[in-house]
Amino acid sequence: MNNLNGKVAVVTGGGSGLGRELSLCCAQRGMKLVLADVDAPGMAETERLVKEKHPGIETVCWPLDVSQLDQVEALANFVQERFGGTHLLFNNAGVGSAGPIWESTAKDWQWVLGVNLLGVAWGIKAFVPRMLKQGKGHIVNTASAAGWMNGPGAGIYNVSKCGVVAMSESLVADLKDVGGNIGVSVVSPAFFPTPMLKNSQTLRPQDASEAPLSDIAQKRKEQTHYAMQNGKVSAAQIAEMTLRAVEENRFYVFPHPKIKALVLARASAVQEETTAFDPMAAR
């Protein structure tokens, strides 16, 4: 999809972080925007920035819990009625939790997988049939380096992002079966400055309170926070790389090139069949 001007973009998680920067990149290209998030103040701030930097861009904010299929279907129906269709969908909303995988509660699993994994699944389910009918479109799924590298202290997050990679590759295979003119990209960034950890605390549903953190869980959480805040690639840079991938119809997007080397190192560990690949030791 090399000409995005005048087309319609839907951005889940558009209230902050990468979602905000994706929205600004789309606005720069002249796209109409539908921001979708549980964070209403965050969406309002994204909308303000869009209007400030790109006057005249039509922007709509839509409260959305991506873990609920009926809400995602309602969003897809709204965009269809308001704009006549969706050209570019970013399944981008994401949350995280910290700690050894055995310390995660049932509610932790339900919440993180509900947003990170089912949020992508419901976006595909609601929007792909409409894109097939209109004969064009592009879907961008936000995975993570954690979709390829399963490090400590983030078990549920790792599982969710591995699932996003698998779902994206499966989507491409299924689209080949029906001959749909729909592009797909999966974005797998490593650490970059983002308020996701903070938002994961403030926006966590009241009935999904995580268990008190153990010492090791607190340590891993602090390490993750430090790595994110000191990331060398910004959310704005990742967003621009992602939009270029859409324009060039590229599937894999690795904003941090070192991750591809780690993927190859993991493949070597698979060949040896001796021990689980340790991304921390291989860095």
Total residue count of the chain as it appears in this document: 283
Closest-CA residue to 66 (of 143, 140, 11): 11
Q: Specify whether 157 is catalytic.
A: yes
Neighbouring C-beta atoms of residue 180, cutoff 10 Å? 18
Closest-CA residue to 46 (of 62, 68, 30): 62
In whole angstroms, give the CA distance from residue 36 to residue 224.
Answer: 26
For the chain, where are the alpha helices, taking DSSP H only? 17-28, 40-53, 69-83, 106-116, 118-134, 155-178, 196-202, 215-229, 235-247, 258-272, 279-282
Q: Which of 157, 191, 192, 277 is catalytic?
A: 157
For the chain, what is the radius of gyration of the CA atoms?
18
Assess contact for 186 and 252: CB atoms under 8 A. yes
In whole angstroms, give the CA distance from residue 173 to residue 221.
Answer: 36
Burial class (CB in 10 A: 0-12, 13-18, 19+), 81: exposed
Catalytic residues, which ones? 157
